[in-house]
Amino acid sequence: MAADPLDGFRDILGADHVVTAAAQRQLLSQDVYRAGTVPLAVLRPDSTAAVAGLVRHARAEDIALFVRGGGMSYTDAYLPDRERAAIVDLGRMDRIRAIEAPDLHATAEAGCTWAAFDAAVAPHGLRARFWGPMSGSRATLGGGMSQGAATFGSGIHGTSASAALAFEVVLGDGSVLTTGTAGAPHHAPFFRAYGPDLTGLFTGDAGALGIKTAVSLQLEPRPGAKGSASFAFGSFEAMRAAVSEVSRHGLATEVFGVETALARLAAGEAALMTDLRALWAVARAQPGPLAALRQAARIALAGRRFLADSTYIANFLCEAADAPRLALTLAQLRRIVRARGTEVANTMAAVVQSTPFPAPMVLGPGGRRLLPLHVILPHSRVDAFHAAFDALRQREAARMAEHRALAFVVFAGVGPSALLYEPVIYWEDEWPELHRATMPPELLALMQPGAANPAGRAYVEALRVEIIELMLAHGGAHLQIGRAYPFLRERPAPFTSMVHALKQATDPGNLINPGALGLGAPARGQEPAR
């Protein structure tokens, strides 16, 4: 082994792209929930060949590589668990390689953000079938595919995996694998289902099976008409039944909603924000966000009326090739949903439809820290999970108050068979560097960090573990597995053997994202009981 193990990386990337400044190493080894061990360096490759080179060098030096896209996850997914490690930051690999409009596919480097990809294909009248998470102004194609992201397009198509045609992946021995039809010479990545689905293996793999360097996506024509409708409901069960029925019929391209208590908290904030001259000045300088702000102000006003007597709000975003077809879809949706809820101002939906990729809000209302958890359940099992979660929340009410914590429910549709149920925990605490660096400064200026709250942090962690256990007991599935969800627990031997064999085949040195998917090293919080 070399005297300075970083020298080999410097030879490959140039010294400027082997970052050893303590502040950067610390910043890039945090996620939205917490911090990992500070690694030796942050590596910033700009080509597949450079990624392959640094993987080979890391193997020779026994340095673990933790791969970071936009850094917008909260499942310990890329947090180093040891010092002899480096973060691979794919931010420089953001080029669009090809847009094949007649054949409806495009390929971009894995560090390209969803927002940049969408902007690149839009002039062709196209977009990806799944076209991004709400964090898409920072979150990347590689991150979204490795996590299994959901939101834009998910009401009908499900997760990011539905848009994946092919991946270029650097494996743990430094070789480069291309999946799908593109894996054969002179073949374009136009078709995924050619033999066993190797592309599928790398979707939702938490980056445990290799470093994605390029992603080929299925495109579709952009819709000619868009509209939305929002409804307030008196009970969770009424909301859930309406959302399930809309999802089964595939009527909404996106379905998302919130517990009204959370909307109330956020509406207070929006009303406060719109009053502030500083924000007005920022908004006036930017025509896009201004429209969004007007809408936000409107919901803050309109909101107070219906927020008073509902418990859940659901937003349905609909699209069609033209206005008459959109009108038919919305009419059918209203027939279904009006039987269970009351239609209200659709401004929250309109804001999302007009500004799908805002700056990610990594702090909650009032500057609180946040931890979203989620479980995917079949429609028939959601109410039972909700009842169990609500019971847990009521049992914990006094402790939550003691620790300055709150918990709310957010939800979304993911394809025809399932609902994504997302408990979000908020708590008062100080702000880590990542949060200060990510929040728009004009919004940060309106918020106050909490006092350091280590007891509250420990309480949130205990709650996180308990809620994940509850999700497992209810037979749920997860996206964003990272190192947070017990993917391999309770699986029969043929399943676990197959997954371990895949890890061994793709990363024999166990140096790429060790611990992700529960492979190679125990996930934090899931260490075996002593």
Ligand X SMILES: Cc1cc2nc3c(=O)[nH]c(=O)nc-3n(C[C@H](O)[C@H](O)[C@H](O)COP(=O)(O)OP(=O)(O)OC[C@H]3O[C@@H](n4cnc5c(N)ncnc54)[C@H](O)[C@@H]3O)c2cc1C
Interface residues toward ligand X, by CB under 6 A: 32, 67-73, 77-78, 90, 110, 133-135, 139-140, 142-144, 146-147, 149-151, 206-207, 211-212, 360-362, 479-480, 482, 513, 516
Q: Residue 119 Cβ, how far from ligand X at the closest point, in Å?
A: 17
Q: For residues 220 and 271, what is the distance between their CA atoms, to the nearest angstrom?
A: 38
Nearer to ligand X, 396 or 429 (CB): 429
Largest CA distance in the chain: 71
> Shortest Cβ contact with ligand X: which residue?
143
Question: At a CB cut-off of 8 Å and minimum separation 6, what does 385 contact?
Answer: 375, 377, 421, 470, 471, 474, 476
Q: Residue 391 Cβ, how far from ligand X at the closest point, in Å?
A: 27
Nearer to ligand X, 70 or 310 (CB): 70
Q: Residue 226 Cβ, how far from ligand X at the closest point, in Å?
A: 18
Report, in angstroms and rounded to the nearest whole number, the Rg of the chain calculated over CA atoms. 23
Nearer to ligand X, 238 or 418 (CB): 418
Element (H or E) spanning 409, and its range?
A: strand 405-413
Distance of CA 313 to the CA centre of its chain: 22
HEC sequence for 335-347: HHHHCCCEEECCH
Q: Residue 208 Cβ, how far from ligand X at the closest point, in Å?
A: 8
Nearer to ligand X, 12 or 209 (CB): 209
Q: Residue 180 Cβ, how far from ligand X at the closest point, in Å?
A: 16
In eight-state DSSP terms, residue 63 is -
DSSP state string for 155-213: HHH-SGGGGEEEEEEE-TTS-EEE-GGGGSTT--S--S-SSS-HHHHTTT-TTTT-EEE
Nearer to ligand X, 159 or 310 (CB): 159
Q: For residues 173 and 339, what is the distance between their CA atoms, to the nearest angstrom?
A: 58
Q: Residue 136 Cβ, how far from ligand X at the closest point, in Å?
A: 8
| CA distances, 29 to each of 38, 74, 208, 365 (Å) | 6, 12, 17, 25
Nearer to ligand X, 39 or 133 (CB): 133
Q: Residue 494 Cβ, how far from ligand X at the closest point, in Å?
A: 25
Long-range pairs for 279-286: beta carbons < 8 A, 24 or more residues apart = 279/442, 279/443, 279/446, 282/442
